[in-house]
Structure 1
């Protein structure tokens, strides 16, 4: 069994005075005891403590039991600062800090787990559990310092479930989370289809699972929990006393022993995804570095901006510790972000993402289709490709699509005027994949080293099941086939010149139809004949680096290109548009088959035994 490393353990024993009566009979909220074990977590402690303090829960019903040892960073100093600034807000605080012990015997890395570390960790967890029993706690909540509970209602939701053992489902930069849906007979992680259904919230609720860890709430009012343990010897003794066969012969791993002790005592474990509770960092392994954990934080912050609108703020006395990447242009000449002036919330969100991810981009005001008229288009010299209709919904172009094309067109013109050799063009409704900056530069360097390119899709919707051969001597590039969407693409100066030379305003079609037509992968040969010089050299990143935030039909989906008037190219009469942008299609390349590519492309993907 390969240890799932939890370096910097945070145990949160939650003592909740719930006796089983109806909620309206409660005189006051449950009491919560947070027992905290910290090691080398100075980079996550400010966020962890800030988000815990922002819980919608009375501070005077929360007590803390803190222990910090074997730590070589500033964890103790940060905990002392928290005690000085916030300790009096809570019911009580008990703490012991040992700055002298900074490593374990035979330890080559802070992320290694020698036997001495296991022994010490298990003893402390047992001590915390017993402390909860001694003070008649109603609940014990075990938390790790890598857990960022961004939902202010986390404690309320979990305690109201009244389950014997339940974990809040946490999101990571990949498929890693704090639960298993399958376990082998020899206690290894086993992949199941249900795992992804729960993780992606395709089904919502509380579900029985064989393993929960890292953030675990235990209901101490359940009679059988007195038998729960993290200690292998205690587990075996329990099994012997109950004549349980076979006796546990697995590793002295605290989370596995705990799960088996629950199973041996007839106590079910549950994972809950009723709400988005928060996020979790993947565990590091001995060969990893702190820089990899810091990059994980950058990725999670990007996810928070997408999910929550912004990264939740730190406590005032921790704000000076906030670190953001130094912005750069990804080795490009410029980055433009297209945004409608009447969508300031999208611009604000994108600018927040640029801050958190370290991307230097310039706002480029989009042409608003709602302000266009047929008369204005005629004045601009815009004419439409005869016979054009949307290939999927058989409608004419919408004013939104026209505005979208003109927005991209103006950037192409700007590139030529300013002689910008390589430009990334982004729309304002995108989600960056983890390690975007590193992977974008990697893809660009691969393209530059093998061929002169004109266009590289960073995000797209593949529309046709056709061959997309890989680019020779480039691991993460393919020759792009018929694709929709202009979420994000890199365009070279030579590519901009080719697009403008086609005089697209004289025979206008939507930009995401025009681009594949220009690299001669469009299936409509009649349209293709209208543009005789179709020599754009177009690639796509593989795997993709950008995706839409929302797809058609999802809550929050808005399309300014589709949800607008359409123009009849024959009569110039306007009518209602119909939607065309459904969820991305992938042909012949499922999640499992792309894993090897993701591992090549990812800057620091976990080597954990659990889902990537």
Structure 2
């Protein structure tokens, strides 16, 4: 279990709240933070039924959480709920980091905005006598957490709070309206479903007779948003809203002794129950006939996976990085900038090139928002990246293309839409071609090429370094896909001596790939501008895995040695049909191969049923006929899901487990 934060919302006209915040430092002398904030809300004279929002108590425990607290408090401050209806209950002890410095900074700037803050902390010792490390959960530590959570629950009852929100310190509640939406559900106990960098979340799908986590198919259905709504589950934790106005809440407890007494459990039955706060609470809710609900109606936020006793605290730092990268790709709540007061606590890794000679990122000048997001990702991960201005297909002229020697591959037509290239596809190819030229001209032995619409998988840097170490030990590679769309059904052979590399089959996408100097020379030597086709068709031709024999004959030397990471390290930020999906290659004008101007058709190979025909007139009819003939000769049964294949995202994580 992690230390948690409890927010208590309290509102009763007969209850008089204190006007000061008591802070008990380690030497025991109380520090009083005066809070003179008074509510100025006046009932509407035109609406006698107008009510104040319910009061909420938010309770959280902090221990060695300085790395996540700046973002935790930033999201707490952004919660869209009247702060004068919120009481905060905070406890912290046994810290070895800057937890108290961050906490004091928040108290100084923000505590007066809330109705009341009740805080106690003790930093006299770093470890309990029974603990072997700061990540070790001894029985003494469990009992301390149980005692503090029980104290928070009773505090909420004492001040007549309407709700108590148990809020772990390792939760990032990114959706500002979460509390309002949970209260609106009007259920006794509910938790907003949280995502992690794996399959872990803040609920269980099942519980064994021994009261531990049980794997269920329903769990993944909920976690993957296959169904949305509110679901009855045997366990919720980490972020839990309890309606204290429900009479049944009077028997809720975190204490095993109280559980036995309230529900008349025998000594034998009580002894079988683990000394674990979340299990005891779940059982008390079950015995009180209060259903535990998990809501996945929205993406509410994220949570880190609890550390095992043998884990170092640095693993928590990496989990936070993974979550920040995930948040950056959330369309609705992508802000990860902390409050200015916390910036001095933010730490970033030193930027490097991950053992490459250069990392390039291709970006269109008219897509600055993508560049900003990518640069923030690079800062968080610690990547030193060189920006490459992409060739913009929208402004390419036929005169310029002829000047640089561009000639289109005779007979080319998109395998799915039976159309010529789009202007965006031409710009995309030229952008990658420029990188290959730069690599050869600057004699860069190994480079990593990235596009600007990618999402890094968790532990990207560590996995990439390991992958490249393995590739160099084996040797002989020219290109390694970090992200791609695999198109064939057949199994891919493992690279001999590797557990993470396969020989690449026919694939689309150039999201990210490592390229050797020898590989770049091979690509340029093929003179692709003289037989231009999309880059994700050209590359499979060069490693001799394309299905179109006619196109392959235009490039007689096809000896590129192409591998792929398995599992992949990169994925697109969006797929066809997703909210926010935008493709500058697919969603652009088709070239006029007959030399006419003003072509209006758009292309989208991922979302078209393949029935569209090429636009042609005059001499272009020959191209159209050739293309039709070539496409007819392709057996498209080899394609995976043919057109609209959404890559399956495989999270590298252990199964959901109990926090024991």
Question: TM over 0.5: same fold?
Answer: yes
Instruction: Tell me what 2:601 maps to.
Output: 576
Question: 2 CA distance for matches of 1:37 and 1:415?
Answer: 52
1:548-596 residue CA offsets vs partner (Å, 9 max, x unmatched): 0111111111111111111254566735133113699699x9979x77x
Are 2:10 and 2:87, in contact at CA under 8 Å, matched by a contact in 1?
no
Equivalent residues in 2 for 1:321-336, closer than 5 Å: 321-336=345-360
Matched, 1:236 2:260: yes
1:482-516 residue CA offsets vs partner (Å, 9 max, x unmatched): 00000001111100100011111111111001001
Q: Which runs of 4+ in 1 moved over 4 A?
A: 243-248, 570-573, 582-587, 589-592, 605-608
Q: Give structure 2 stretches of 5+ with no counterpart.
A: 14-46, 609-638
Instruction: Tell me what 1:516 maps to.
Output: 540
Question: 2 CA distance for matches of 1:464 and 1:570?
Answer: 33
Matched residue count? 592
- Partner of 1:485, secondary structure, is strand
With the length of structure 1 as denominator, give the TM-score of the two structures.
Answer: 0.91
Question: 2 CA distance for matches of 1:18 and 1:429?
Answer: 51
Instruction: Tell me what 2:503 maps to.
Output: 479
The alpha carbon displacement at 1:376 in A equals 3.3
The alpha carbon displacement at 1:60 in A equals 1.8
Question: 2 CA distance for matches of 1:307 and 1:324?
Answer: 21
Matched, 1:11 2:5: yes
Instruction: Tell me what 2:250 maps to.
Output: 226
Question: 2 CA distance for matches of 1:84 and 1:368?
Answer: 50
Are 2:5 and 2:89, in contact at CA under 8 Å, matched by a contact in 1?
no
The alpha carbon displacement at 1:408 in A equals 0.6
Question: 2 CA distance for matches of 1:25 and 1:78?
Answer: 42
Question: 1 CA distance for matches of 2:273 and 2:558?
Answer: 63
Instruction: Tell me what 1:280 maps to.
Output: 303
Are 1:282 and 1:606, in contact at CA under 8 Å, matched by a contact in 2?
no
- Partner of 1:27, secondary structure, is coil
1:197-238 residue CA offsets vs partner (Å, 9 max, x unmatched): 322323222222111001100011112111111122222233
Are 1:45 and 1:78, in contact at CA under 8 Å, matched by a contact in 2?
yes
Are 1:13 and 1:128, in contact at CA under 8 Å, matched by a contact in 2?
no
Distance 1:83 1:608, change over 3 A: same
With the length of structure 2 as denominator, give the TM-score of the two structures.
Answer: 0.85
- Partner of 1:335, secondary structure, is strand
Equivalent residues in 2 for 1:368-517, closer than 5 Å: 368-517=392-541
Structure number with bigger Rg: 2
Range 345-354 or range 87-96, more displaced: 87-96
Distance 1:533 1:572, change over 3 A: farther
Are 2:11 and 2:85, in contact at CA under 8 Å, matched by a contact in 1?
no
Instruction: Tell me what 1:290 maps to.
Output: 313
Which residue among 197, 217, 224 is the counterpart of 1:193?
Answer: 217
Are 1:37 and 1:66, in contact at CA under 8 Å, matched by a contact in 2?
yes
Are 2:75 and 2:172, in contact at CA under 8 Å, matched by a contact in 1?
yes
Are 1:240 and 1:247, in contact at CA under 8 Å, matched by a contact in 2?
no
The alpha carbon displacement at 1:357 in A equals 1.4
Are 1:462 and 1:586, in contact at CA under 8 Å, matched by a contact in 2?
no
Instruction: Tell me what 1:356 maps to.
Output: 380
Are 1:235 and 1:248, in contact at CA under 8 Å, matched by a contact in 2?
no
Matched, 1:263 2:286: yes
Are 1:520 and 1:534, in contact at CA under 8 Å, matched by a contact in 2?
yes
Instruction: Tell me what 2:120 maps to.
Output: 96
Instruction: Tell me what 2:165 maps to.
Output: 141
The alpha carbon displacement at 1:307 in A equals 1.3
- Partner of 2:308, secondary structure, is coil
Question: 2 CA distance for matches of 1:11 and 1:500?
Answer: 59
Q: Give structure 1 stretches of 5+ with no counterpart.
A: 1-5, 599-604
1:6-49 residue CA offsets vs partner (Å, 9 max, x unmatched): 23x11314234499xxx993432222222332222222222212
Question: 1 CA distance for matches of 2:370 and 2:48?
Answer: 42
Question: 1 CA distance for matches of 2:334 and 2:183?
Answer: 27
The alpha carbon displacement at 1:480 in A equals 0.5
Question: 1 CA distance for matches of 2:363 and 2:319?
Answer: 28
Instruction: Tell me what 2:328 maps to.
Output: 305
1:379-428 residue CA offsets vs partner (Å, 9 max, x unmatched): 33211111111112211111111111111111111111111111111111
Which residue among 265, 276, 286 is the counterpart of 1:253?
Answer: 276
Are 1:150 and 1:312, in contact at CA under 8 Å, matched by a contact in 2?
no
When the two chains are superposed, the root-mean-square deviation of aligned CA atoms in Å is 2.7
- Partner of 1:48, secondary structure, is helix
Question: 1 CA distance for matches of 2:120 and 2:423?
Answer: 66
Question: 1 CA distance for matches of 2:122 and 2:216?
Answer: 42
